[in-house]
Every structure is written in structure tokens, then in C-alpha cells.
Amino acid sequence: EPEVTQTPSHQVTQMGQEVILRCVPISNHLYFYWYRQILGQKVEFLVSFYNNEISEKSEIFDDQFSVERPDGSNFTLKIRSTKLEDSAMYFCASSTPGQGSPSNQPQHFGDGTRLSIL
């Protein structure tokens, strides 16, 4: 069964450095998402991306964050000038288009990248 893949599985970065988290969504999916889960807390939505632009973002997704689809297969999350509180598990997800907008199809998640800021 096709799956969302994320790399690296674990990233350790010094505070203040930039980090890029990478995702390969399922190939025929057109909607892409980033979520994060701070240890012991709820999964939180960060951003959705469709047709090469951000379709929705949360208040967490400030100017420190950016997303990009640099080619036909990858979807990246860049975090500039990382802070200790950015330490979390970051999940990428994708979904197919369905009836209506936004998509009513299930979102499929990757295994996540554990980001540790020192």
C-alpha cells in the first residue's frame, strides 16, 4: 500500500540553526499537510498546501516556518532560527481530492521526524 515517507526520522539541531524536514507524499495525492506533536501533547495542525500554495495555516505557522514543493515528489518544511520549543515530532500528511472543498478524503500520515533542538 502506498505510504507517506519522511526523512530524517530523527534530527538533532543546535538552537538558532535552520532545519529542513522532508516528505514524499503518496504519488497521486494533491493536498499536503504538516502537523506537529510536542511530547505528551495533542497533534496540532501547522499548514496545508494545494496547487503550489498555502491553503491554510495555523497561528503556530509564523514567519519562522515555510513550506515548499521543490519538485513533483517532495514536500518540505523549513524552520528558520530554531528554538528550544520547536522540539517536537513533525508529521507530514497527504490526501486525494474528493467531493467538495476542502477534500473529504482521509489524510494519510507519515511516521514523522523527531526534531530535537539543543
Partner 1 sequence: KQEVTQIPAALSVPEGENLVLNCSFTDSAIYNLQWFRQDPGKGLTSLLLIQSSQREQTSGRLNASLDKSSGRSTLYIAASQPGDSATYLCAVKVASGTYKYIFGTGTRLKVLA
- Judged on CB neighbours under 10 Å (0-12, 13-18, 19+), 24 is middle
Q: Rounded to an integer, what distance in angstroms lies between the CA atom of residue 80 and that of residue 21?
A: 11
Separation CA 79–CA 13 (nearest Å): 11
44 near partner 1 (CB under 8 A): yes
Pairing mode of beta strands 88-95, 5-7: unpaired
Alpha-carbon gap, residue 33 to 91, rounded angstroms: 8
Site string for partner 1, 64-93 (x = CB under 8 A): ---------------------------x-x
Determine the size of the site formed for partner 1 (CB under 8 A).
30
Only one of the segments 13-21, 34-42, 63-71, 75-83 lies at the binding site for partner 1 (rule: CB under 8 A); that segment is 34-42
Which residue carries 539543543 as its cell?
A: 118
The distance of closest approach from Cβ of residue 103 to partner 1 in the complex, given in angstroms and rounded to an integer, is 7
Q: Which stretch binds partner 1 (CB under 8 A): 12-20, 52-60, 67-75, 77-85?
A: 52-60
Our finding on whether 13 is near partner 1 (CB under 8 A) is no
What is the C-alpha separation between 19 and 29, in angstroms, rounded? 25
Which stretch in 11-19, 53-61, 67-75, 80-88 sits in contact with partner 1 by CB under 8 A? 53-61
Query: 50: which 3 cell numbers?
Result: 494545494
| Residues in contact with partner 1 by the rule CB under 8 A | 4, 6, 31, 33, 35, 41-45, 48, 50, 55-56, 58, 91, 93, 101-112, 114
